[in-house]
Structure 1
Amino acid sequence: MTAGAAPGRIAVATMALIMIVVGLLELRGASDGLRITRNLAGETPVTIFQARTAAPAPVIVIAHGFAGSQQLMQPFAETLAHNGYIAVTFDFLGHGRNRIPMCGDITEGTTITTELLEELTEVASFARKLPESNGRVGVLGHSMASDIVVRFAKANPDVEATVAVSVFSPVATATSPRNLLVIVGVLEPAMLRNEGLRIVNLVADGTAIAGETYGNFADGTARKLVIARGVEHIGVLYSHDSMVEALRWINAAFGQDKEGYIDSRGRWLALVFVGIAALAWPLSALLPIGSASCVGAELTWKPLLIAAFAAPVLTPLILWKLPTDFLPILLGDYLTLHFLLYGALTGIALFYLRKQTLQRQSVSLGNILIAATAVAAYSLVAFGLPTDAYVFSFLPTPERIPLIAAIACGTLPYFVADEWLTRGSNSRPGAYALTKFCFLLSLAIAVILNPEKLFFLVIIVPAILLLFLAFGLVSRWTYAATRHPLPGALANAMIFAWAIAVTFPMIIR
């Protein structure tokens, strides 16, 4: 690090630390005045949110979607708890810290749907019996759980309000469930908006428009579709529109009118994570140098494009008909093979196209391993702890630890090949972004070829984009400091393997 660069790095580090501290204080302050307790409903982990001085109140049971966990639903839980309700979140089978896997075939659906419905029923029974509960109950569910809460409310007519976020549910009727609100993000697929309109039109006789309430709360026929502004499938869970509309709907159903605190953690989470990413730049100056000069393929555009576009086309075609169910984690096994084959094909292309080889470099393997360990540790701890507290379950249960190692066998070849392809003192501008676009394109081709099995990959695209952005910056600064692609590649391989292993649901087929 040059003397002139030191003041700039110190300034960035100071600003980043301020952002992190301010964001964490605001996030922590969101629960002031609430009593938050953790328990088990049978063997299902649950969290109960309620005001410290609460009188007997209705209970709202809140269910997360596919590959989520109860942390994702905290914005709704804390909004409702601050406004006089008892909110109960939980981890579905195979998700988060629920150590019991789902059983069945995701393409068949019936068995898993029945399991999840039984689990929601058990959690709702637990919630109704809470000492502060007045016996009245409502439900709220996102994505996969939107169908589960609708089915539960249909089977239990005393459920007074249902909120279905990012909805799909073929079982809704004109009279059941009672008082159904549908929320869809404006950036979500049109099929979800159309599904919301279809459900509301059961009451509106085909004339439904977003933002209008049809039916009435007294007889339970109230229906409404809300389009949350500026958000997609995950952002809809942090949207101000979602919080306000869900609270107002539940208030109307339960005859209450308190409307005070509205959760706004999205901006504070962004502040924290931008600060953590920014802090990686000044810290990268502390990494040991791994090579005497910059190492990388340094391909011109023509061979770079050949290497970048061969793997995304060939990978889904090769895997199309191959069995990919070999890990007890839904879609994680397919992603592992996709990363592995994609990396192998990119590596083969590099073997024939590269201009520079490892043998020409003076390399310190010890420094590379030290740098990779430091970068991986920073990413897992600095990003992981706030993620686990405020976004989704990031700390693995014991059953998931071997899965991290297994998935890393796929992510490692991919990131090693990709880093080598896109790094170098004369690397092409935009090469790193191009290869990430190609990987997402490859996943899209895979979904098109096998939509029934791989559809849920579409849902995680925003999360993969954020991971590529955040850890792409970290690996770029790592490369600038170490002059070698391996530290960033090794760290990213571990981070992505960890994220996949702790996020996707465990399943016994």
Structure 2
Amino acid sequence: MTALRALTGVMALAIAALCIWQLERDRAGLVITALEGTGSTPATLFHRADATPAPLVVIAHGFAGSEQLMHPFALTLAQSGYLVATFDFMGHGRNPVPMSGDVTSVDGTTQLLMQEVGRVTDAALAHPLADGRVALLGHSMASDIVVRQSLADDRVTATVAVSMFSQAVTASTPANLLILVGDWEGMLKTEALRALHLADPDAVAGQTVGDPATGTGRRAVFAPMVEHVGVLYSMTSLTEAQAWLDATFGRMSEINALQRGGWIALLLVAVVALGWPLAGLLPAATTVAAPLSRGAFLITAGTPALLTPLVLWPFDTRFLPVLVADYLALHFAVYGALTLGLLAWMNRARLSGPHHWGRSLWIAAAVAVFGIAVFGGVMDRYVASFFPHAGRVPIIAAMALGAVPFMLGDAFLTMGGRAAIWRTVTVRALFLASLGLAVALDFERLFFLLIILPVILLFFILFGVMGGWVGRRSGLPAAGGIGLGLVLAWSLGVTFPLFV
């Protein structure tokens, strides 16, 4: 290992340690325990060690999220003296019970999710530190759930709807409604103003209509320079939510918004950077395959992008108990098979001999362990659920059958990170376009794929960089391809909601 790689490793570890220290400080002085009495729903209770009886805030995550994603709100409000409960909705995170019902009907899945919020509320209200007053906070999908549950549960005094879309809002209900939207969420900003104007047609964002102290308050706030996920980490969102609840419950707690987003981003960058010095420990490459001609490359990269959605379009691809993951697994598999087939036909895949495959497999195992255990451990602690319950293992295995050949084809096309940048960008952009075409051909069934596109893009950015380090050092594209295929399968297998 060169001195530069060693220095990078030391710096990455030091930065990661600093970030973890900062993030763990947010938990100082809090008691964080599992909430009992919620049935099969995993739930967590937060309160200060020196807390006195206080209002309860039940916090609900959005579609494909988990309770970890809502920790910025949970930790902020708990540090401010509130009793806070978070949980995993059915089908999400570590909740073993799949979602069910009709997702298109208010009388279907929505009612089941409302009942789950009610069970968590009941269990948390039984805690000695609950003073009987309740507020609900929900993000995205859960914004509609908490609005409707507020209307159904007369114990609820305030509702905070983050990235809200709900047809249940009226001119006067729910009581004390705060709407938080990222400034980059165009359509949801329009929805927030619509809900605000029901109470006062002349009101503007940032203006409070009515009086939270009397239950008539309504307010819409646009958090600057954030989108659908960033709004959860915005200082504006956290400060507004705490101030709204304080106004509702007549409290004067110190504003204690926690700046977690930047530290989490820096921690993830540090973990990724650690991959470069670790790649330097691998055996160095001795030979390098010649690149495909421009024409051959474009044919090999473009043909699967066009054919895969067309081939799968006529078929019913629902075979897994999870939303759209079954289609995605098949898309990966067909895409990868077409890519590898074209490469083999052109005799350009340069599949190594048996001894090289052996080396590729142990390097792939190391890549998978790093991506799942190290990077995934950070994700699970600070971002979103990454370590699944047993029911998700078959989903991960099915995803791997498609993701591994797909990433193998990607690795050979990009020459394990040695290809020109324009080629790498073209390969990844064509795949995203292929998924877009699939959605366009069957929007009603596959529109949930649009939600997962940012996850795949982030995967390409973060893990694509690490895969390039491994491929350039070892000269074995298959090593990174197989390893990253396993990481991709795991990442998606723990993200999609289970559904029956």
Output the TM-score relative to the length of structure 2. 0.95
Measure how far apart 1:292 and its partner are.
3.7
SS in 1 for 2:494: helix
Cα drift, residue 215 of structure 1: 2.7
Q: Which residue does 2:110 correspond to in 1? A: 113
Contact 2:72–2:260 (CA under 8 A) maintained in structure 1: yes
Give the CA RMSD over aligned residues.
Answer: 1.9
Structure 2 counterpart SS, 1:87: strand
* Residues 1:229 and 1:310: Cα distance change in structure 2 (over 3 Å): farther
Question: What residue number does 1:187 align with?
Answer: 184
For residues 344 and 116 of structure 1, what CA distance do their matches in structure 2 show? 39
Match for residue 81 of structure 1 among 78, 82, 86: 78
Q: Which amino acid aligns with 2:143?
A: S
The question of whether the paired residues in 2 share the 8 Å contact of 1:72 and 1:391 is answered with yes
Tell me whether 1:102 sits opposite 2:99 in the alignment.
yes
Q: Report deviation, 1:258.
A: 1.5
Q: How does 1:61-210 map to 2 (within 5 A)?
A: 61-108=58-105, 110-188=107-185, 190-205=186-201, 207-210=202-205
Aligned position for 1:347: 340
Match of 2:298 in 1: 305
Q: CA deviation at 1:108?
A: 4.9
Aligned residue in 2 for 1:23: 19
Equivalent residue number for residue 29 of structure 2: 33
Superimposed CA distance per residue, residues 261-298 of structure 1 (whole angstroms, 9 cap, x where no aligned partner):
21111111112111111110011011235x641247x1
CA distance in 2, matches of 1:307, 1:108: 43
CA distance in 2, matches of 1:371, 1:224: 54
Deviations 1:78-130 (A, max 9, x none): 00011111110001111111111112343456421111111111111112221
Q: Deviations over 1:180-228 (max 9, x none)?
A: 111111223x2222211211111122x3432222233244332222111
- 1:390-436 per-residue CA deviation (whole Å, 9 max, x = no partner) reads 11111111111122111101101110111111116962333222222
Spell out, residue by residue over 1:219-274, the C-alpha distance to the aligned partner (whole angstroms, 9 max, x if none).
43322221112222111111111111111111111122213321111111112111
- Following the alignment from structure 1 to structure 2, what is the Cα–Cα distance between the partners of residues 424 and 25? 35
Distance 1:446 1:110 in 2: 29
In structure 1, the residue matched to 2:46 is 49
Task: Find the residue that maps to 2:89 and give its secondary structure.
Answer: coil
Shift in alpha-carbon separation, 1:87–1:11, aligned structure 2, 3 A: same
Shift of 1:14: 0.9
Q: Does 1:429 align with 2:418?
A: no
Aligned partner of 2:238 in structure 1 is 243
Give the match for residue 294 of structure 1: 288
CA drift of 1:151 comes to: 0.5
Task: Describe the shift of the 1:211–1:321 C-alpha distance in structure 2 as closer, same or farther (beyond 3 A).
Answer: farther
- For residues 330-351 of structure 1, the C-alpha deviation after alignment (integer angstroms, 9 at most, x for no partner) is 2211211121122223233334
Change in Cα spacing, 1:23 to 1:418, as seen in structure 2 (3 Å) is same
- Among candidates 315, 320, 328, match of residue 327 of structure 1: 320
* One-letter identity of the residue aligned with 2:199: V
Q: Secondary structure at the match of 1:430?
A: helix
Query: For residues 464 and 128 of structure 1, do their structure 2 counterparts lie closer, same or farther at Cα, with a shift above 3 Å needed?
Result: same
Does residue 384 of the first structure (1) align with residue 379 of the second (2)?
no
* CA distance 1:462–1:425, change in 2 (3 Å): closer
TM-fit CA distance, 1:29: 0.9
Q: Paired residue for 2:411?
A: 419
| Alignment-mate amino acid for residue 42 of structure 1 | G
**Partners of 2:62 and 2:138 within 8 A in 1:** yes
What is the TM-score normalised by the length of structure 1? 0.93
In the alignment, the residues of structure 2 paired with residue 316 and residue 251 of structure 1 have an alpha-carbon distance, to the nearest angstrom, of 52
Decide whether aligned partners of structure 1 residues 105 and 313 sit closer, same or farther in structure 2, where only a CA change above 3 A counts.
Answer: farther
CA distance in structure 2 between the partners assigned to 1:219 and 1:279 by the alignment: 54
Residue-pair matches, total: 499
Structure 1: gaps of 5 or more residues: none
Structure 1 residues 371 and 255, CA, compared in 2 at 3 Å: closer, same or farther?
A: same
Q: Could you tell me whether the CA contact under 8 Å between 2:177 and 2:217 is conserved in 1?
A: yes
Q: CA deviation at 1:39?
A: 2.6
Residue 8 of structure 1 aligns to a residue whose secondary structure is: helix
Residues 175 and 220, structure 1, Cα contact 8 Å, conserved in 2: no
Partners of 2:313 and 2:442 within 8 A in 1: yes
Q: How far apart, in 1, do the equivalents of 2:401 and 2:11 lie?
A: 37
**Aligned residue for 2:56?**
59
The 1:283/1:46 distance shift into structure 2, 3 A limit, reads: same
Q: What do the CA deviations read for 1:429-487 (whole angstroms, capped 9, x no partner)?
A: 33222222222222222333333333333233332222111100110000011101111
C-alpha change, 1:259 and 1:315, in structure 2 (3 Å) is farther
Letter matched to residue 328 of structure 2: L
What is the rounded CA distance, in whole Å, between the counterparts of 2:105 and 2:317 in structure 1? 17
The 3-state SS of whatever aligns with 2:298 is helix
